[in-house]
A = this chain, B = another copy of it.
Amino acid sequence: MSRPEALSPARLKDAAPLFAALGDATRLSLLVSLCAGGPLTVTRLSGQSAVSRQAITKHLEVLSEAGLVKSTRHGRERIWTFEPKRLEDAHQYLARLSREWDVALASLKAFVED
């Protein structure tokens, strides 16, 4: 009898790759760059970073599959933009977990005080 907001196994399977995409320092710094610096190309992004352009491309593909980033071709360049919706999803998942904990604490407290 789980609440509709609970973290069902189906949701976990959606959440896992999302958090996994966030679980890399290089990718996080890419997200920061795309947030602060607006839409950018791969070469521009790899200019900031220590690793090669192809490595950055791979990271962007991971972020893209996680839905955190989107790309559009513009002539010979490919422009990458941040996708805020998916970040909101991640936030929701954390909130659900946190809420689950609070509920458990409350019922434990009720049990003790009973």
Is A47 positioned at the interface, with any CB of B under 8 Å from its CB?
no
Do the beta carbons of B91 and A31 come within 8 Å of each other? no
Q: Mark A11-45, 1 if CB is under 8 A from B, else 0.
A: 01101111111111100110110011110000000
Q: A20-B20, A87-B98 are in contact. Are A32 and B13 (CB under 8 A)?
A: no
CA distance A43 to B94 in the complex (A): 26
Q: Which residue of B lies closest to A68 (CB)?
A: B97
Which A31-65 residues have a C-beta within 8 angstroms of B? 31-32, 35-38
A20-B24, A36-B103, A82-B101 given. 18 additional CB < 8 A pairs?
A7-B28, A12-B25, A15-B28, A16-B25, A16-B28, A18-B23, A19-B19, A19-B22, A19-B28, A35-B100, A35-B104, A36-B104, A37-B104, A38-B108, A84-B98, A84-B101, A87-B98, A90-B94
17 contacts between A and B (CB under 8 A): A7-B28, A7-B32, A9-B25, A12-B32, A18-B23, A19-B19, A19-B20, A20-B23, A21-B23, A22-B22, A31-B97, A35-B97, A36-B100, A87-B101, A88-B98, A90-B94, A91-B95
